[in-house]
């Protein structure tokens, strides 16, 4: 394994041998070429609404993504909410699961915490008893959109964070998500910054793991450990795949950030997702106001919203590719592109 070194402040002698010098260039496939021709001819191109239509582990086509890092404060909640915002903005039925006992995402989407009269049983109640009735009772609408339902977090969720849980406990979240009625198109799970039962149960339930980091030394080592954890979980959960690493709060022209970004690309190659997210006040403003980034009226918010659109595209595309594999690999119904996408 590569050793991650502190960056020399005065001399940056780290030469990332395989780091690409610019954004990765890809040979466009037939669809992209057709899209480019249509754009050039002024013909409207169908927006990439991208239904994740081939995951049928939940009896319907649901794509489940877990957003995690083993380091606190790097932007898990921000990335989860940015993806939620992008999904509802393009008309996707979405469920947000707040697994973090800090309940930051529950607060931001303006839903009362679980374990209260207004908040219902919350995610902790669902993990106690993942029956259909409890799940239905726990789901809360959000003022963000009619398309968004939330399994709210609560401080109480912490009691489900055993350091060494058995398979039965780890399976409970997946069991609960199978009971979502009606099934959404997308489930996004905001994880706490640890690798206890909560994060592991999200990996157990997820098709894709989205890792988040900042371009700093400690965050890079956190990603390495998180990726190892995903790989470990993958040995028993074959459907789980790491989507990649979102690098957040990047400040161009800050030499430490440039150094760490090069290091990340050198270490993790194509797993570093594009675009990276810049440090923008608009993100904090939108979160502070409890507003989706797509609705925050500023140039910075518009820029970041576009980036979340691209990251969501990437997630949904991976769903389609993975599905082709899963159709034969999971021994499931082999429905291919059926399910919700065909409705
Ligand atoms: N790209 C960004 N630009 C500006 N501020 C950001 C950005 N990303 C995150 N922040 C801010 O950084 C703080 C921490 O972000 P966030 O809560 O998303 O991290 P987290 O990983 O979920 O933290 P925790 O581990 O505590 O759950 C928040 O105040 C958030 O608004
Ligand atoms: Mg958080």
CB 141, CB 148: distance < 8 Å: yes
**For the chain, what is the mean pLDDT?**
82
- Gap between the Cα atoms of 290 and 42, Å rounded: 38
**Residue 286, domain member (yes or no):** yes
Which residue has its alpha carbon closest to ligand 1 atom 23? 73
**Residue 95, domain member (yes or no):** yes
Q: Look at residue 179 and give its three-state secondary structure.
A: coil
Query: Dmax of the chain from CA atoms?
Result: 61
**Residue 15, domain member (yes or no):** no
Domain of residue 116: give its range.
Answer: 53-331
Min mean pLDDT across 44-53, 115-124, 302-311 is at 44-53
Write phi, then psi, for 278 (nearest 5 degrees): -80, 165
**Residue 182, domain member (yes or no):** yes
**Residue 38, domain member (yes or no):** no
Which residue has its alpha carbon closest to ligand 1 atom 14? 73
Res 26 pLDDT > 60:
no
CA 228 to chain centre: 17
pTM confidence score: 0.81
Ligand 1 pocket member 248 (CB < 6 A) = yes
- DSSP label at 141? E
Which residue has its alpha carbon closest to ligand 1 atom 11? 284
Confidence of residue 257 (pLDDT cuts 50, 70, 90): very high
Which residue has its alpha carbon closest to ligand 1 atom 30? 284
Res 17 pLDDT > 60:
no
pLDDT at position 35 is: 53
Per-residue pLDDT reduced to its tens digit, 97-106? 999 999 999 9
For residue 63, give the H/E element and its range. strand 63-68
**Residue 266, domain member (yes or no):** yes
pLDDT at position 8 is: 41
- Gap between the Cα atoms of 245 and 274, Å rounded: 9
Average of per-residue pLDDT across 327-339: 33
CATH number of the domain residue 120 falls in: 3.40.50.300
Question: 66 alpha carbon to ligand 2 midpoint, in Å?
Answer: 12
pLDDT at position 59 is: 57
Structure tokens at 168: 């039965």
Ligand 1 pocket member 76 (CB < 6 A) = yes
**Residue 342, domain member (yes or no):** no
- The total of structural domains in the chain comes to 1
pLDDT at position 277 is: 98
Return the best residue to mutate from 73, 158, 247, 290 for the ligand 1 pocket (most ligand atoms within 8 A of CB).
73
Min mean pLDDT across 11-20, 145-154, 247-256, 268-277 is at 11-20
Structure tokens at 117: 């009269």
Per-residue pLDDT reduced to its tens digit, 119-154? 999 999 999 999 999 999 999 999 999 999 999 999
Per-residue pLDDT reduced to its tens digit, 160-216? 998 888 899 999 999 999 999 999 999 999 999 988 999 999 999 999 999 999 999
**Residue 8, domain member (yes or no):** no
> What ligand has the least distance to the C-alpha of 68?
1
CB 189, CB 67: distance < 8 Å: yes
């Amino acid at each position: 394994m590569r050793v991650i070194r502190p960056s020399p402040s005065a001399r940056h002698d780290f030469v990332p041998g395989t780091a690409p010098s610019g954004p990765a260039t890809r040979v466009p496939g037939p669809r992209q070429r057709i899209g480019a021709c249509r754009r050039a001819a002024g013909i409207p191109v169908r927006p990439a609404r991208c239904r994740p239509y081939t995951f049928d582990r939940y009896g319907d086509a649901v794509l489940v993504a877990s957003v995690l890092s083993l380091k606190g404060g790097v932007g898990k909640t921000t990335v989860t909410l940015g993806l939620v915002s992008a999904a509802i903005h393009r008309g996707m039925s979405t469920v947000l699961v707040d697994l973090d006992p800090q309940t930051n995402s529950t607060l931001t989407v303006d839903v009362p915490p679980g374990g209260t009269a207004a908040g219902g049983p919350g995610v902790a109640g669902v993990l106690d008893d993942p029956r259909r009735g409890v799940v239905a009772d726990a789901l809360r609408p959000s003022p963000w959109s009619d398309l968004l339902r939330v399994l709210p977090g609560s401080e109480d969720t912490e009691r489900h964070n055993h350091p060494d849980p058995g398979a039965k406990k780890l399976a409970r979240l997946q069991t609960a998500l199978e009971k979502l009625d009606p099934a959404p198109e997308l489930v996004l799970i905001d994880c706490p910054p640890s690798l206890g039962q909560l994060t592991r149960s999200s990996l157990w339930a997820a098709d894709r793991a989205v890792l988040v980091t900042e371009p700093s030394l400690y965050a890079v080592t956190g990603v390495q450990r998180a990726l190892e954890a995903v790989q470990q979980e993958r040995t028993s959960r074959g459907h789980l795949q790491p989507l990649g690493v979102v690098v957040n709060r990047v400040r161009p022209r800050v030499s430490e950030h440039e150094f760490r970004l090069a290091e990340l690309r050198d270490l993790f190659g194509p797993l570093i997702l594009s675009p990276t997210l810049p440090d923008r006040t608009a993100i904090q403003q939108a979160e502070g106001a409890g507003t989706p980034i797509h609705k925050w009226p500023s140039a910075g918010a518009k820029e970041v919203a576009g980036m979340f659109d691209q990251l969501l595209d990437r997630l949904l595309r991976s769903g389609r590719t993975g599905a082709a594999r899963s159709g034969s690999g999971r021994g499931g119904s082999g429905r291919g592109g059926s399910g919700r996408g065909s409705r």
